[in-house]
Chains A and B, each alone.
Chain A
Amino acid sequence: QAQLEESGGGVVQPGRSLSLSCAASGFTFSYYGMHWVRQAPGKGLEWVAFISYDGSTKYYADSVKGRFIISRDNSKNTLHLQMNSLRAEDTAMYYCAKPGVPGALTYFDFWGQGTLVTVSS
């Protein structure tokens, strides 16, 4: 059974940075591309970023492009999201999500519980 545990959320001032992590277990992490998805309070789901199984390919939503960096450490089964130049509109629960098919951009068959990021002065 896959497990994903996000950490690193908190309250941060606008313009500052924050780093999120997602510890993965229960599946062969290095076979899977991984995603970050966020959800603003009381709102819907927004895909944020994807990284391929080997880290060579990355995609970002336009809303975070140039500010957020997705990365991974396959030796530690960990996914990261470096968030820079944070804005109030980045306030959300951030989920890491595992795709249902290794190495592909597909549906998400498992989600972590999320970590809450609040951007406020």
Chain B
Amino acid sequence: DIVMTQSPDSLAVSLGERATINCKSSQSVLYSSNNKNYLGWYQQKPGQPPKLLIYWASTRESGVPDRFSGSGSGTDFTLTISSLQVEDVAVYYCQQYYSTPLTFGGGTKVEIK
């Protein structure tokens, strides 16, 4: 199984400042035949289901604000919120879909400082 490790577990960022969340996979999720990283990012607010933000490691889902961006390749990935807004308070998860079982990181809670 591919183990997804997120860091930090939580972070507090001032409004308008940058938030950076890291995700590391125990093996590469880069599929060489199409050069795509099988990695997605989700946002989950209390009482709601997760919402897709980023897929293929760096492609923003339609309707997601451009302050959210994803980067990285192979085993190391980053979700960046360039300018934190009140509505971004949530838990963020990375997920690999390179192989079954599909696995998620443990989550990173983002709060306002």
- Of A44, A59, A113, the residue contacting B107 (CB under 8 A) is A44
For the A-B complex, the count of residue pairs with Cβ-Cβ distances under 8 Å equals 55
Residue B106 is within 8 A (CB to CB) of chain A in the complex: yes
Interface residues of A in 49-87 (CB under 8 A from B): 50, 59, 61-62
The smallest C-beta distance from A68 to any residue of chain B, in angstroms, reads 13
Interface residues on B, range: 20 to 34
Binding stretch for chain A, among B20-28, B76-84, B93-101 = B93-101
| Chain B residues in 8 Å Cβ range of A110 | 52
A112 to B49 Cα, complex, angstroms:
7
Is there an interface contact between B49 and A107, defined as CB atoms closer than 8 Å? no
Query: A20 to B43, alpha carbons, bound, how many Å?
Result: 25
* Interface size in chain A (residues, C-beta < 8 A): 21
State whether B49 touches A114 (Cβ < 8 A): yes
The answer to whether B55 touches A100, judged by C-beta atoms less than 8 angstroms apart, is yes
* A22 → chain B closest CB, angstroms: 12
The answer to whether B101 and A107 have CB atoms under 8 Å apart is no
Interface residue ranges of B58-95 to A (CB < 8 Å): 61, 93, 95
**19 other A-B residue contacts (CB within 8 Å) besides A107-B95, A111-B49:** A35-B102, A44-B93, A44-B105, A44-B107, A45-B50, A45-B95, A47-B101, A47-B102, A47-B104, A50-B102, A61-B101, A62-B101, A105-B102, A106-B38, A106-B97, A107-B40, A107-B55, A108-B95, A111-B50
Q: Which positions in A face B, CB cutoff 8 Å?
A: 35, 44-47, 50, 59, 61-62, 95, 100, 105-114
